[in-house]
Amino acid sequence: MPDTMTSPTDAPAGAFLNDTAMRLGVQVLSGKPLSRDQARELTTLEGDALYDLMFWANKIRIANVGVNARFCSIVTGKVGGCSEDCSYCSQSKHYDTHVKPSRMRVEEMQQAADEALASGASSFGIVNSGRGPTDKELDWMEPFFRKAAEEGEIRPCATLGELRPDQARRLKDMGVERINHNLETSRRHFGNVVSTHSYDDRVNTIRAAKEAGLSICSGGIFGLGEDWEDRLDMAFALRDLGADVVPINFLNAIQGTPLHGKREALEPMEALKIIAVYRFILPDRELKIAGGRETILRDLQSWMFFAGGSSFLIGNYLTTFGRTPKQDHQMLKDLGMKIHLFNEREVEAEPEVAPGAGAGALGIGAEANSLMVRKRGSVLALPVVDA
């Protein structure tokens, strides 16, 4: 009797690929957006099928945004004392956390921007606590933004909370190119996370910024107790709003906030699945892997690119430290990836010269005064608050 078994070498090329991931991956690569029902299909993939999901997400990333990575860096211009009650945020005045109110000087902003540029960042953002900026606060930041815009070496960005249309226009006029204002989660789940302002307040700010001609950076936090329907809601809302950059943050609940000890941390593979599904839905957007990547992805941090991520924060986050620039440069070098700069140049990752006492490390010698260095006894990112 002849042997009718098919050997792996005789099988069709797609025989060992998950059909759902392959079918929808090919569809996206052909330029046809996913429907909500098709995106929902992707969320059902589990186990070995996740590797196929990431395989196609990576193909979509390379085809639409390129193979190399972008960095951005942020500093907290104004810290703490926020009137809002976002349950994940240690800067809210409603919660007893390690954060103490503080504010940077313009000279410190410039120093931090110079350090971010030296680390390879293409964008640099000033992040302020509070519901929205006062006109006086815009006066305070304007010299920095104008100087950064005039020098033209790094993209000036701002995360300032709610903006009036006139404030958005003023920021555009002073040289700001991109506004970050996250949706954070779905409309349905938003009220479970924040009560002092609404989901529509956030949408209105995004629309005001877009109408002023500003690039939009908007995403959210995962691990807030949302389900996959919430995650899909936010992805499709961001697609409809025309977000250019979509930050993907993973909850790293800080002691003193309501979510500390109340939410189970995401598993690394679940976090990678979120990135991959978002890449399918938002094929040509910059997916920025931001807060919580060390804590949640752990040894799988480099997999964020295979899952479809295309950029990440280098240095500190808002009130927690990140890895050193040297570590992130080494990761890119090991992957054979280059750094995509603000002026569209691509350069090699250079772990040998990248700051080794950057965020999360203790400064020694000349680096002891760096704004990207953990000060002795500090528990907070910039500006530093001593324990």
pLDDT, one tens digit per residue, over 130-145 is 999 999 999 999 999 9
Is residue 380 over pLDDT 60?
A: no
Cα 217 from Cα 158, distance rounded (Å) = 10
- The answer to whether the beta carbons of residues 251 and 223 sit under 8 Å apart is yes
Stated pTM of the model: 0.90
pLDDT of residue 94: 81
Is residue 387 over pLDDT 50?
A: no
Residue pLDDT, tens place only, 137-193: 999 999 999 999 999 999 999 999 999 999 999 999 999 999 999 999 999 999 999
Is residue 261 over pLDDT 80?
A: yes
Q: Using DSSP, state whether 41 is helix, strand or coil.
A: helix
pLDDT band per the 50, 70, 90 thresholds, residue 374: very low
Mean pLDDT check: name the lowest of 47-51, 328-332, 362-366. Answer: 362-366
- The answer to whether the beta carbons of residues 133 and 163 sit under 8 Å apart is yes
Is residue 241 over pLDDT 90?
A: yes
pLDDT of residue 357: 58
- The answer to whether the beta carbons of residues 103 and 383 sit under 8 Å apart is yes
pLDDT of residue 359: 38
Per the structure block, which two tokens stand in for 101?
């109110």
pLDDT band per the 50, 70, 90 thresholds, residue 277: very high
Cα 387 from Cα 380, distance rounded (Å) = 8
Cα 309 from Cα 223, distance rounded (Å) = 18
Is residue 24 over pLDDT 50?
A: yes
Is residue 12 over pLDDT 90?
A: no
Is residue 68 over pLDDT 80?
A: yes
Q: Using DSSP, state whether 77 is helix, strand or coil.
A: strand
Is residue 316 over pLDDT 80?
A: no
Is residue 75 over pLDDT 80?
A: yes
Query: Average model confidence (pLDDT) for the chain?
Result: 87
pLDDT band per the 50, 70, 90 thresholds, residue 55: very high
Q: Hey, what domains does the chain have and what are their CATH numbers?
A: 63-369 (3.20.20.70)
pLDDT band per the 50, 70, 90 thresholds, residue 34: very high
- Rounded mean pLDDT, 75-82: 85
Reported in sequence order, the residue ranges of the chain that DSSP labels E, i.e. its strands, are 70-79, 102-103, 123-128, 155-159, 178-180, 215-217, 220-222, 245-250, 286-289, 311-313, 338-340, 346-348
